[in-house]
Amino acid sequence: MARFVITFLLVLLSLFTLEMLVPVQQHVIVPFTEVLARIAAALIMPFDDTVRAAGKVLQFRDSGFAVSIEAGCNGVEATIVLIAAVVAFPATWRARLIAIVAGFFAIQALNMVRIISLFYLGDWNTEVFSWVHLYLWPTLIMLDVLIVFVLYLRYLSHHEPDRDATLAT
């Protein structure tokens, strides 16, 4: 358990530092966040054509209300936590890779719900928006990471003979 925690923290700090580097922000994080804004707009448009995406900003054309998807709201930090946990836990690299890819989509799916829900909540009531944005959604996203990881552990425990045999080679 101690080795898991130490490895987890080391990988987490390394990836988080990497994410903070200016070139990584410029060439990976910001373009990725802009893609999220475009996907959110594309998902909303069939139901509400007053929405548009400009860069990482999602905006109502009629009211002018807009939200900018910033660090912490693009699911990158949550994905980093999941990657660190999966890498730190002993398993085959194939199992780890599947967990990371599946977990990434699980996190981003819920994060898309977060972005869209906050966009409408903010247009309706800024106090409710602040409460849900600052306190509730970060908790739900981390809960999502935890559930993905626990399900991954359960998968591993059901396939333990295979895992031990592979790790022993």
Residues with Cβ within 8 Å of 135's Cβ and at least 6 positions away in sequence, in order, are none
Q: Name the segment binding another protein (CB under 8 A); options: 99-107, 112-120, 121-129, 159-167.
A: 159-167
The residue within the footprint of another protein, chosen from 6, 10, 20, 35 (CB under 8 A), is 20
| C-alpha 52: how far from chain center | 22
Total number of residues that touch another protein (CB under 8 A) = 35
Return the biggest CA–CA distance within the chain. Answer: 63
The residue within the footprint of another protein, chosen from 38, 43, 153, 166 (CB under 8 A), is 153
CB 100 within 8 A of CB 83: yes
CA distances from 133 to 32, 94, 121 (A): 20, 35, 9
Total Cβ atoms within 10 A of residue 142? 15
Q: Which is nearer to another protein, 52 or 163 (CB)?
A: 163
Report the site for another protein in 107-136 (rule: CB under 8 A).
131, 134-136
Residue numbers at the binding site for another protein (CB under 8 A): 1, 3-5, 12, 16-17, 20, 71-72, 77, 81, 89-90, 131, 134-136, 138-139, 141-143, 146-147, 150-151, 153-154, 156-157, 160, 163-164, 167
